[in-house]
Amino acid sequence: MNRVNPKVLLGSKWTKTQVENREKHFVVTKVAFDENNNVMKCIITAVINNREYTINWRDLKQPAQWKFGWQ
């Protein structure tokens, strides 16, 4: 399991294990927190074409889907 700290999520780089539309490398570009500092929204951006996707930040913990850094 990947270790993900929500406080340092913004700006982190990720590699998707199953490439779709040639989108492999991503950067977390927006993170929204509620009043209790829980992540409400996480947006990742594909490096190749700048498409944005809203994801559940906990999905980044799954090594079958995501790898930390660009690999």
Model pLDDT for residues 10-26, shown as the tens digit of each residue? 999 999 999 999 999 99
Domain that holds residue 61: 6-68
Q: Please indicate, yes or no, if residue 14 is contained in any of the structural domains.
A: yes
Q: What is the rounded average pLDDT of the residues 46-67?
A: 96
Does residue 30 have a pLDDT over 90? Answer: yes
Q: Please indicate, yes or no, if residue 41 is contained in any of the structural domains.
A: yes
The answer for residues whose C-beta is within 8 angstroms of residue 1's C-beta and 6 or more apart is 61, 62, 63
Q: Please indicate, yes or no, if residue 1 is contained in any of the structural domains.
A: no
The pLDDT value recorded for residue 3 is 87
C-alpha distances (whole Å) from 62 to each of 5, 17, 21, 48 are 14, 10, 21, 22
The predicted model scores a pTM of 0.92
| Percentage with pLDDT > 90 across the chain | 89
Total number of domains constituting the chain: 1
Q: Which one has a higher pLDDT value, 4 or 28?
A: 28
Does residue 57 have a pLDDT over 90? Answer: yes
Q: If we measure between CA atoms, which residue out of 37, 38, 42 comes closest to residue 57?
A: 42
DSSP 22: T
